[in-house]
Chain A
Amino acid sequence: MTYLKPKFHHPDLPKNKLGYTRKYYEGSLSTLCAGCGHDSISAAIVEACFELNIEPHKVAKMSGIGCSSKTPAYFLSNSHGFNSVHGRMPSVATGANLANRDLLYLGVSGDGDSASIGMGQFVHVIRRNLNMVYIVMNNGCYGLTKGQDSATADVGSKNKSGNINQFEGIDLCGLAIELGATFVAQSFSGDKAQLVPLLQAAMSHEGFALVNVLSPCVTFNNNTGSTKSYDYVREHLEATASVDFVPYAEEITTQYEEGETKSIQLHDGSWLELHKLAQGWNPEDKISAINALQNARKHHEILTGLIYLDTDNKELHDLMNTTDVPLNKLTQDVLCPGLEVLESINADLR
């Protein structure tokens, strides 16, 4: 019986610039169902952090409740974490971020945690443009309570017991763009070639970054007739563009024909290279992004890749003009600047 991962690793495992192997970014052995899409997303997060040379102790993993929200135990064992109340991850993440803006906040949530019980929190964290990566592991059902339809289940999708969903599914990406999200991407757990660069870009983005990942529930929502099964998603994928993430200070080497490629520079100096752009789609134009989403829906396609990106934005700290230094690093002389400063403030208020 195995509940522990063997400690041995491949002797030739590559190391990143910090001298860490992927092993250092892994977590404990997953207790999710065998074949769960969420495990692939965990592996993609490991890969993205490894390749970005992120120091694990500079990451905070935030989650709510659900299968998805269990996953922070399965990646980045050496990072900080907070497993919060159901649907309340955004407010805990907001508090943590305001207290210490030096960490990378990885929020992990599910379709129930975000689109049902946590919808109120979800929309407001977007509205406030909190600087975080918000990953939704979206399987269209409540896996932890035996597979009832969730709010992101598509109309007409058949669940495991044969019931057809009658309600309109919530499109998290469309909603996020509407609410002013500054980075919106959609991907599939079974397509790491696309998911990993998207996660890297989201981690490099300053402001709120939503990555909605379709992640089949092998146990309750992988049946024929489901629109979130491995087979259905693979058959209906339609990428906006293929994505390459080029880290800061590395040269762009690939060459594509003009008009087919778009390079977008992110805040930290890294580049996002998009190739073979979908027709009439401009990732920096909100209206064209919404059109692309609506068109895909009309044709029963699942649009993946980067959908919308606004690099010219102000995140919550900038909007609120807060201190640049994490609260725990503020020394007494800064916190209590003395009578003179107090008097000048008071004078301003008179």
Chain B
Amino acid sequence: MEPTNVNDPEYYHKVVDCQHACPAHTPVPEYIRLIAAEKYTEAYMINWESNVFPGVLGRTCDRPCEPACRRGRVEEEPVAICRLKRVAADFKGEVKALMPKAPQQKNGQKIAVIGGGPAALTVCRDLAPLGYEIHLYDEQSKGGGMMRSQIPSFRLPAEVLDEEVNYILDMGIDAHFNTYVSSLQQILDKSYDAVFVGTGAPRGKDLKDLPGRQEGAANIHIGIEWLASVAFEHTHKIGKKVIVLGGGNTAMDCCRTSRRLGGEDVKVIVRSPFSEMKASPWEIEDALHEDIPILDNHVPKQFVIKDGKLAGMLFEKVKAVYDDQGKRTLVSTGEADVFYEADDVLVAIGQENSFPWIEASCGINFNKWGVPELKEPIFQSSNEKVFFGGDASLGPKNVITAVAQGHQAAISIHLFCQGKPLTERPAPGTNLVSTKMGIHEWSYENDVATDIRYIVPQADKALTLKDRKKEVELGFDVKTAFKEAQRCLNCDVQTVFTASKCIECDACMDICPTNCITFTHNGEESELRTRLFVPAKNLSQDLLVSPTLATGKVMVKDEDVCLHCGLCAERCPTAAWDMQQFFYNVTKAYQ
């Protein structure tokens, strides 16, 4: 193998698994260390710069970071990254003074932002400090988009959302709420310099063709519309017997909200096997905890109407069969169809993009999936003035992806308004600095804690089920947060190897507690992987390969289960190994 090019910032970035997996590339280990040091404000600001809504995401994020966490490969459970983020938000001090402000003197260019959700607000935040005059249009009465309309208050209290939305609106955004944009052409006619569309995926999928759908319409609701109606206080109750169709996070929110609005016998009924449900495991767990059974392998067949009113639903029982390619088909088990009574049915089987307000005259091309034709990370549509982000751009994902897309769209808009090519994007900000303080002394805590993952306490079920707005999760207290933070392996503190200093004494190889390091003869990667002290079977993890050393061997380090404990560097007589803290920051438009 060629020696690893560690001058490419992406190499060390990839070692920081959590940060690399995060769509917004939030510097996770850095803020976890700040939490352990009780510097909650600083931890919050690191988050805020990167993901804009730390308080919201600390409660509701899809957490792509956690399955990636190296801790999960070393022991059983990853670090509770998401809930530590909430700790930063819960215990922070004054942060507003630390945020960039919009200049009094505007730069003379005007941007229209359509939608008030995470992507749209991110664009506002990134562009306002640059002096753009920003007009935001949203049909709801307050900002937040789906974070307000689809995430129930018992998961995300309104005050938390208001606070973080207002940090952005207070940057002098000219917000037009309760304003539904029914024509993009009208917006374009107002001679904005650029338009950002962040209108989400607003259309909930329905079961239009299922028998009984028309007759039972009064008691059949589309999940996301029903959640929005609850959030904006239009709906206050639901029948005692509720069926929720669907296996995603929206279904989980629907069933748990139903329990709080009078639903006593609430069931989730899903087509797929339980193990293949789309909802996050922790959300499924929370639903089960609230006495909501989940019935899998049931395909809806009919809404059953009695006396002109919905009485329940009929389901066909199926099982999953997989072909050679692993493709799944649901086949009937041949058992009799089953009937479940219901006063109300909530349909939460997915959502789609919908742009009835974009006229053909706007010149925006859509692909076969009904989303605009655009390229990551540019997000510019076929009308060069119109940019997309969030669920409206590449289809429904999640909040953190919307934020990441918002950052990139903001960069594109800024480049576009300056007349610069959109492909010349700013490089990430990086820093690599030694943590060595003395013999056996580093500026990070290199002692590896063996604690297993701490559980976030929850409020009493008897209380939370009575009050829709009562937050279920209580969050970590400061002491538990510290202990959980200590579980972090500090993967951003990189093992930096200088081949010219190595005397090949093997001390690092002998001491490494997880046997990551091998000195051996070089070879092709696939073959070299088999020859390491412990063969490197995890192909998603890179090998760090040194240039050829004096004896003709090379140093090969398998990054897979490195504990970043620094023992290699402590046992190195010549400081050929050093523990260096790597900081990687996706450059934002205003930076």
Contact = CB atoms under 8 A, between A and B. Distances in A.
B550 to A, nearest CB: 7
A37 B573 contact: no
B560 to A, nearest CB: 8
B571 interface: yes
Interface string B244-282: 000000000000000000000000000000000000000
B446 interface: yes
A30 B515 CA distance: 16
B565 interface: yes
A1 B441 contact: yes
Interface stretch (B119-127, B290-298, B404-412, B506-514): B506-514
Contacts of A13: 515, 534
Interface string A1-29: 11111111111111000000010000001
Contacts of A12: 534-535, 537
Contacts of B574: 35
Given A35-B572, A190-B506, A8 B448 contact: yes
A1 B534 contact: no
A13 B565 CA distance: 18
Interface in B451-496: none
Interface in B519-557: 534-535, 537, 550-551
Contact of A8 (B74, B504, B537): B74
A31 to B, nearest CB: 10
Interface stretch (A38-46, A170-178, A256-264): A38-46
A190 to B, nearest CB: 6
Given A6-B563, A37-B505, A14 B534 contact: yes
B513 A34 contact: no
A239 to B, nearest CB: 14
B163 interface: no
A11 B73 contact: yes
B570 A8 contact: no
B505 A190 contact: yes
A114 B355 CA distance: 87
Nearest to A37: B505
B506 A43 contact: yes
B275 to A, nearest CB: 23
B563 A35 contact: no
Contacts of A6: 447-448, 450, 513-514, 563, 565, 567
B503 interface: yes
A316 B504 CA distance: 40
A227 to B, nearest CB: 16
A7 B449 CA distance: 9
B364 interface: no
Given A34-B570, A35-B572, A2 B75 contact: no
Contact of A216 (B74, B505, B535): B505
A218 interface: yes
A35 B573 contact: yes
A2 B513 contact: no
A42 B510 contact: yes
B313 interface: no
B448 A30 contact: no
B199 to A, nearest CB: 46
A230 B74 CA distance: 35
A341 B105 CA distance: 116
B566 interface: yes
B572 A234 contact: no
A280 B74 CA distance: 53
B510 A11 contact: no
B506 A11 contact: no
A292 B302 CA distance: 94
Contact of B510 (A3, A39, A234): A39
A8 B505 contact: no
B507 A2 contact: no
Nearest to B550: A234
B520 to A, nearest CB: 10
A40 B450 contact: no
Interface string A241-278: 00000000000000000000000000000000000000
B507 A40 contact: yes
Contact of B561 (A3, A11, A189): A11
A117 interface: no
Nearest to A35: B573
A33 B573 contact: yes
Nearest to B503: A230
Contacts of A10: 514-516, 534, 561
A190 B505 CA distance: 6
A29 B566 CA distance: 13
A2 B506 contact: no
A80 interface: no
Interface string A35-60: 11101101100000000000000000
B440 interface: yes
B511 A39 contact: yes
Nearest to B437: A1
B571 A35 contact: yes
A139 to B, nearest CB: 12
Nearest to B577: A34
B511 A30 contact: yes
A191 to B, nearest CB: 9
B71 to A, nearest CB: 9
Contacts of B534: 10, 12-14
Contacts of B503: 35, 222, 230-231
A41 to B, nearest CB: 10
A14 B509 CA distance: 16
Interface in A218-246: 218, 222, 230-231, 234
A286 interface: no
Contacts of A230: 503-505
Nearest to B560: A10
Contact of A40 (B510, B514, B550, B567): B510
A314 interface: no
A211 to B, nearest CB: 17
Contacts of B570: 2, 34
Nearest to A43: B510
A225 B73 CA distance: 47
A70 interface: no
A192 interface: yes
A12 B551 CA distance: 29
A34 B242 CA distance: 67
Contacts of A11: 73-74, 561
Contacts of B507: 34-36, 39-40
A216 B514 CA distance: 26
Interface in B556-584: 561, 563, 565-567, 570-574
A222 B504 CA distance: 13
B571 A34 contact: yes
B505 A35 contact: yes
B515 A34 contact: no
B514 A9 contact: yes
A2 B440 contact: yes
Nearest to A7: B450
A345 B35 CA distance: 82
Which residue of A3, A35, A36 has the most chain B CB atoms within 10 A of its CB atom?
A35
Interface of B: 73-75, 440-441, 446-448, 450, 503-507, 509-511, 513-516, 534-535, 537, 550-551, 561, 563, 565-567, 570-574
Given A29-B567, A36-B505, A190-B506, 20 more contacts: A1-B440, A1-B447, A2-B567, A5-B567, A6-B447, A6-B450, A6-B514, A8-B75, A8-B561, A10-B534, A10-B561, A11-B561, A34-B572, A35-B505, A40-B510, A43-B506, A43-B509, A218-B505, A218-B573, A231-B503
12 contacts: A2-B446, A2-B447, A2-B565, A5-B511, A8-B75, A8-B514, A30-B571, A35-B507, A39-B507, A39-B511, A222-B503, A234-B550
The 10 closest A-B CB pairs, nearest first, are A35-B573, A43-B510, A6-B448, A218-B573, A35-B505, A6-B513, A10-B514, A34-B573, A34-B571, A10-B534
Interface of A: 1-14, 22, 29-30, 33-37, 39-40, 42-43, 189-190, 192, 216, 218, 222, 230-231, 234
